[in-house]
């Protein structure tokens, strides 16, 4: 082996797993493009777990003697300590994590270290590492989403019956309770947990024992790896096993949608904390100031999380486009799956606790919410429905109340500004109606008494149901 054109013998054989058939070391430019150890090194706990399982399997089939196995396991343990403490030194000649670990293994265990590569390929190794990593990451993210749901539930509990304006088209529509509104976000997050868990089912599949693509020899048993690494299932087809990144796409899709949900919540906090809404104040610890305007209190957490949705969607799209049209089985393109996956996990691990903290810090202004809830023509639907109760077809009722609203607008008053006499004159069907109840926001809320509605007693039931789901989740598995 002679050095490549740039003459850097750091790219020599010691950190590479494939030098034998080449007369020249790789060119620096090619090496830099292909070198993944800078980002895949973080998979080390999983790579070492896979290597341990592989050493055990090689001993079982007699490829490793007990003494060789012991020497390899001792070296793997030492490497684990070095990686955990930061003492492990990456060399320019380490192409990826697998190569770096083998290089160190041979440094520590001599030629015996070179026996571990039998019966496996980086193709089944890397996909196994990524699956093990994602299995843990999903569990951590689910716990973080659960905590955010709990923050929303706590906030909803305090505001179960607080009147607030409900919107469609960002125009005031009908009064709701603030608790109902907050729980709406918690249920969206509930589906995100379901999607993450669903993805986890297809993440939790063992691929070691697939080899490069065609399956393994030497008596190695794919099911034994699954057992050793605690995978729930074994990939049925070795070619699919090394080519498949659907599990990463499913995770990224769940992550992107979770990011979109966080962005919708973030946008609402931005609106609620504006002077124009004035519904809430974000606590100091989750607010930021301006370097020039001393009075400013900015909702940066909400804005940042609104923006993070963009990169989460980008991470999903990056991997989907990488996979599109890829021929079976492993292609080096697949190396590009990892950074988007890491980015999505890292982004959510930072965002979720910040959003939970921000929600816990929100202080809502009950009086301002209540004033906004009843103002304008918020109860127009209730008036129309009262006419329906008295036999008027909804089509006519809608038309007549709409006409009344138009008159009021022309006179610069809202429905509340009409006195009872005038209301009865215009809508004679309401002659014996309880107009005070009809004009009352709390009564309007209580009328929405169907399951899933905003009546405070229904919101309380809804909250109890969410809490039960969160509790069931926190309970240790039987």
Taking alpha carbons only, the member of 39, 90, 86, 76 closest to residue 340 is 39
Judge whether 207 and 131 are in contact, CB under 8 Å.
yes
CB of 373 to ligand ARG, least distance (A): 55
Using the minimum distance from each CB to ligand ARG, give the nearer residue, 27 or 388. Answer: 27
CA dist., res. 185 & res. 187, Å (int):
5
Using the minimum distance from each CB to ligand ARG, give the nearer residue, 131 or 448. Answer: 131
CB-based burial, 10-23: b 16+ in 10 Å, e otherwise:
ebbebbbeeeeeee
Judge whether 370 and 334 are in contact, CB under 8 Å.
no
CB of 96 to ligand ARG, least distance (A): 4
Q: Is 195 exposed, middle or buried (0-12, 13-18, 19+ CB in 10 A)?
A: middle
Residue with tokens 């405070």: 456
Using the minimum distance from each CB to ligand ARG, give the nearer residue, 177 or 329. Answer: 329
Taking alpha carbons only, the member of 4, 21, 39 closest to residue 130 is 39
Residue with tokens 């607080």: 162
- Does the annotation mark 169 as catalytic? yes
Interface positions with ligand ARG (CB under 6 A) = 36, 40, 96, 122-123, 126, 332, 334-335
CB of 36 to ligand ARG, least distance (A): 4
Using the minimum distance from each CB to ligand ARG, give the nearer residue, 97 or 352. Answer: 97
The residue length of the chain stands at 478
Q: Which residues contact 41 (CB under 8 A, 6 or more apart)?
A: 83, 90, 97, 100
CA dist., res. 262 & res. 259, Å (int):
5
Using the minimum distance from each CB to ligand ARG, give the nearer residue, 334 or 387. Answer: 334
CB of 467 to ligand ARG, least distance (A): 43
CB of 262 to ligand ARG, least distance (A): 29
Q: How many CB atoms lie within 10 A of CB 457?
A: 13
Packing angle, helices 66-85 and 97-109, rounded to 10: 120
Q: Which of the following is catalytic: 169, 180, 190, 398?
A: 169
Strand partners of residue 234 = 206
CB of 50 to ligand ARG, least distance (A): 13
Taking alpha carbons only, the member of 52, 218, 237 closest to residue 132 is 52
Using the minimum distance from each CB to ligand ARG, give the nearer residue, 248 or 269. Answer: 248
Q: Which of the following is catalytic: 65, 274, 290, 452?
A: 290
CB of 122 to ligand ARG, least distance (A): 4
Using the minimum distance from each CB to ligand ARG, give the nearer residue, 36 or 177. Answer: 36
Taking alpha carbons only, the member of 86, 104, 85, 82 closest to residue 94 is 104
Please give the angle made by the CA atoms of 6, 7 and 13, to the nearest 5 degrees. 115
Using the minimum distance from each CB to ligand ARG, give the nearer residue, 149 or 335. Answer: 335
Taking alpha carbons only, the member of 57, 97, 103, 101 closest to residue 76 is 101
Measured between alpha carbons, how far apart are the two ends of the chain, in Å? 59
CA dist., res. 368 & res. 354, Å (int):
26
Measured on CA atoms in the order 111, 115, 121, 124, is the torsion positive or negative?
negative
- Residues acting as catalytic residues: 169, 290
């Amino acid at each position: 082996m002679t050095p490549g054109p740039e003459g850097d013998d750091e790219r020599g054989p010691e950190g590479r797993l494939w030098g034998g058939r080449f007369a020249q070391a790789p060119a620096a430019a090619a090496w830099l493009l292909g070198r993944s150890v800078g980002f895949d090194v973080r998979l080390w706990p999983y790579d070492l777990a896979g290597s341990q399982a592989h050493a055990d399997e090689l001993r079982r089939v007699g490829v490793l003697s007990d003494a060789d196995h012991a020497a390899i396991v001792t070296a793997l343990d030492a490497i684990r300590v070095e990686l955990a403490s930061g003492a492990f030194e990456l060399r320019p000649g380490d192409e990826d994590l697998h190569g770096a670990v083998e290089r160190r293994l041979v440094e520590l265990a001599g030629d015996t270290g070179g026996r571990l590569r039998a019966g496996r390929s980086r193709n089944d190794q890397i996909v196994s590492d990524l699956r093990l990593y994602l299995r843990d990451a999903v569990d951590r993210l689910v716990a973080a989403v659960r905590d955010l749901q709990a923050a929303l539930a706590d906030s909803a509990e305090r505001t179960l019956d607080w009147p607030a304006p409900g919107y469609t088209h960002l125009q005031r529509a009908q009064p709701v309770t603030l608790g109902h509104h907050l729980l709406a976000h918690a249920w969206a997050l509930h589906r995100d947990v379901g999607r993450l868990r669903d993805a986890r089912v297809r993440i939790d599949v063992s691929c070691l024992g697939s080899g490069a693509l065609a399956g393994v020899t030497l008596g190695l048993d794919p099911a034994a790896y699954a057992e050793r690494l605690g995978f729930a299932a074994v990939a049925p087809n070795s070619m699919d096993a090394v080519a498949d990144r659907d599990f990463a796409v499913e995770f990224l899709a769940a992550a992107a949608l979770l990011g979109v949900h966080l962005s919708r919540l973030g946008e609402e906090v931005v609106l609620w904390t504006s002077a124009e809404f004035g519904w809430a104040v974000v606590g100091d610890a989750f607010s930021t100031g301006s370097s020039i305007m001393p009075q400013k209190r900015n909702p940066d957490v909400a804005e940042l999380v609104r923006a993070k949705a963009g990169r989460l969607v980008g991470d999903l799209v990056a991997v989907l486009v990488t996979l599109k049209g890829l021929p079976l089985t492993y292609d080096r393109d697949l190396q590009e799956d990892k950074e988007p996956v890491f980015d999505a996990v890292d982004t959510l691990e930072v965002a979720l606790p910040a959003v939970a903290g921000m929600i816990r810090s929100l202080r809502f202004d009950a009086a301002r919410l209540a004033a906004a809830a009843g103002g304008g023509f918020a109860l127009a639907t209730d008036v129309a429905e009262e006419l329906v109760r008295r036999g008027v077809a909804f089509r006519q009722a809608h038309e007549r109340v709409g006409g009344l609203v138009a008159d009021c607008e022309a006179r610069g008053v809202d429905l509340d500004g009409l006195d009872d006499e005038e209301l009865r004159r215009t809508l004679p069907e309401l002659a014996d109606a309880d107009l005070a109840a009809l004009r009352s926001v709390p009564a309007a809320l209580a009328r929405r008494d169907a399951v899933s509605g905003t009546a405070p007693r229904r919101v309380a039931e809804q909250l109890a149901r969410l809490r039960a789901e969160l509790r069931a989740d926190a309970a240790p598995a039987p």
